[in-house]
A and B are shown apart, each in its own frame.
Chain A
Amino acid sequence: MMSFWRLAFRNLGRNRKRNFATGSAMAFGFAGILLLTAYAYRAKNYLRVYTVYVVHTGHLIVFPKNGFEKFAFEPEKFSLSAAEQEKILGLLKADPAVERFERQIHGQGLVGNGCVSLPFMARGYEPEVDHALREHPQVKLWMPKFRYLLQGRGLEAYPPELGALLLSRGLSSALGKTRLHDQFPESAPVSLPDCEHPKEQAAKDSNVQLLSGAWAGNLSAVDGEVVGLFTTGVQETDSSAIMGSVELLQKLFSTDRVAQIAVWLKNPDTLEASRAKLAAQLGEDFEVLRWNEERLSPYYVGTVNFLDTLIRAGGLVLSTIIALSVLNSATMTVLERSQEVGMYRSMGFRRRHIRQLYVQESLLLSFFSLLCGGILGIVAIRLINAADILYHPPGVAGGLYLILVLPAGQAIGAGTFILLLALLATLFAVSTRLRQTPADLLGGTLR
């Protein structure tokens, strides 16, 4: 027994070259959209995880009022006192939505090896939190090849009194501090400097001296032990960054205050609700920022906006190509088969029957094309991922591996969109022709 579906399927074989061309446009267009989607999805998640976990931004950050803007100029005034820290930590401990939190401190100064001193930007974290973030499932999932700890062990592996710190690789190289604490015997004495040969001198031990202005105004210095090398992932900061414990930097800045407290949520989907709740609990003396606010994460927000624009533009171009291909093909098919449409109408087919027939034809062609495009896209993604392609976006230290991750929901959404586009193009082409009388479609007579 015949059905419209069977008729539609057989009609696909009537103009194979055109259907092949249209199907190819749809398949390659869809594959292109999948590649773009996969790139954007992975890039956005990479940036999100980098921002939230790797650079310790957290999902929320608590500052004293105006602390975000004014801390750099008046750290003593626009930082959190011990009492304030206690109040905030108490609230966070009691909140079941909070996964973890961390007191943070940062500042700048000079780091020396006994002979040479260089400027640094230091960030103080809590070693156990740093360790937990390095091992976080989100980091493993989205940044499997990223290792910010390039050599040595993390801060959590050393007792607080050691003054353990990590040097960024550029700073390590500039200071000549290429050997780490673990590479020296425990009782190795700190040697007197021989600055005639500064590089050789620097390599004799893992000790550095940090010098900075204390927040109260006087100068302050501490000794530190280089226990590891790390990369910030950003060229701009990769030759001046130091990471230490909060305690070490508090000692350097002669304070018991911290700059901010970062908060990680168990369910980031509740971001705004959690922010509002915490802000309400803390009152007007504090401000709570979301990680994805432009003033807090300008790099993330700017890059994501750029990616979104890229995807929209690429998607628009590919969708237009697909729509025009289908429209052209459907128009040609309907024109070629005008007499046949007239025959159908003469036999009593209603306009909706004809539309149904062509729409089913278009659906079948689109379905097979999208299936091929989907397979093509997935194979291309797997090949790209297997190729271990390292590329170097501007400003990124060490480059990034090109890894594509296809989100199933977005892929299905894109496929559905193309399907609808094809159906609309077909309906437009058919409806235009169906305005004619059956006699006109037949060419004026029952030929």
Chain B
Amino acid sequence: MNGSTIIRLEQVSKSYHLGKVEVPALRAVTLEIHSGEFTAVIGASGSGKSTLLNMIGCIDQPDSGNVWIDGVDVLSLSDDKKSDLRNQKIGFIFQSFNLVPVLSVFENVELPLLINPLISASDRKQRVLEAIADVGLEALAPNLPDQLSGGQRQRVAIARALAGHPLLVLADEPTANLDSDTSLKIIELMLDLNSRKKITFLFSTHDERVMSRVSRIVHIKDGVVGA
């Protein structure tokens, strides 16, 4: 399944400050993610999983090291260019869904496409409908998020992440707020999208049932990525 390298981290370190105490979150992490992979990042709470995903998602800045996404040195980009890169190459799935409550399912999925100048209005509509169909929510397209179950909301979030046809979808504990049955269905959906549409997923999880299904597991402990 492994394709070309789309993400490369080299000696990435990041520390946070808790008062006067410096807490290292990532220590010289070197990692590659390849196109089409379905990768789980596994580690205990506080091990640095989220920080790793933040670095790959370009939503935080490392203290040292380099991050390349699709061959582009992220640290050399301006804030606006990084925004464009996130918009066009990375899809995000949030633990608590983060849907806009006043927008319908259709409009929530459409949101990241609004700011992409490369996508026409008709193409936008097509992509949204396609993404909603991919997660099986066609009938709920006009509904508001508070009319949906937790699982349905996370499906909307997945559709939103997919609508931009990203290079990579990042998810930090995407099933943490869901019951076990729903969690399994969400993982099945992500696996299905990975195998059917060759979408690259990178996500963190504690769910042991998931670990047996993924193509690659990245272990992280105390900010250090293991084998």
Contacts and interface: CB of A to CB of B under 8 A. Distances in A.
Contacts of B116: 348
A113 interface: no
Interface stretch (B4-12, B81-89, B213-221): B81-89
Interface in A315-363: 339-340, 342-351, 353
B130 to A, nearest CB: 16
Which of B83, B85, B93 has the largest count of A CB atoms less than 10 A from its CB? B83
B38 interface: no
Interface of B: 50, 53-54, 57, 59-61, 79-80, 83-88, 92-96, 98, 100-103, 107, 110-112, 114-116, 121, 124-125, 160, 164, 170-172
Contacts of B88: 348
Given A7-B103, A446-B92, 10 more contacts: A1-B110, A1-B124, A342-B59, A347-B112, A348-B112, A439-B60, A446-B50, A446-B57, A446-B59, A446-B94
A444 B59 contact: no
A39 B93 CA distance: 58
Which of A340, A344, A350, A437 has the largest count of B CB atoms less than 10 A from its CB? A350
B60 A437 contact: yes
Task: Give the top 6 A-B pairs by smallest Cβ distance, nearest first.
Answer: A348-B87, A446-B172, A445-B50, A438-B59, A10-B102, A439-B60
Contact of A346 (B92, B100, B102, B110): B92
A13 B102 contact: yes
B54 A439 contact: yes
Contacts of A11: 102
B107 A348 contact: no
B110 A445 contact: no
A81 B34 CA distance: 106
A190 interface: no
A348 B95 CA distance: 18
A440 B111 CA distance: 21
A4 interface: yes
B143 to A, nearest CB: 15
A408 to B, nearest CB: 36
A56 to B, nearest CB: 66
Contacts of A339: 96, 98
A197 interface: no
A343 B111 CA distance: 11
B59 A10 contact: no
Which of B80, B85, B98, B172 has the largest count of A CB atoms less than 10 A from its CB? B98
A340 B170 CA distance: 17
A441 to B, nearest CB: 9
Interface string A32-63: 00000000000000000000000000000000
Interface string A408-443: 000000000000000000000000000001111010
A339 B100 CA distance: 11
Nearest to A438: B59
B174 to A, nearest CB: 9
A14 interface: yes
A353 B112 CA distance: 11
A188 interface: no
B60 A2 contact: no
B54 A2 contact: no
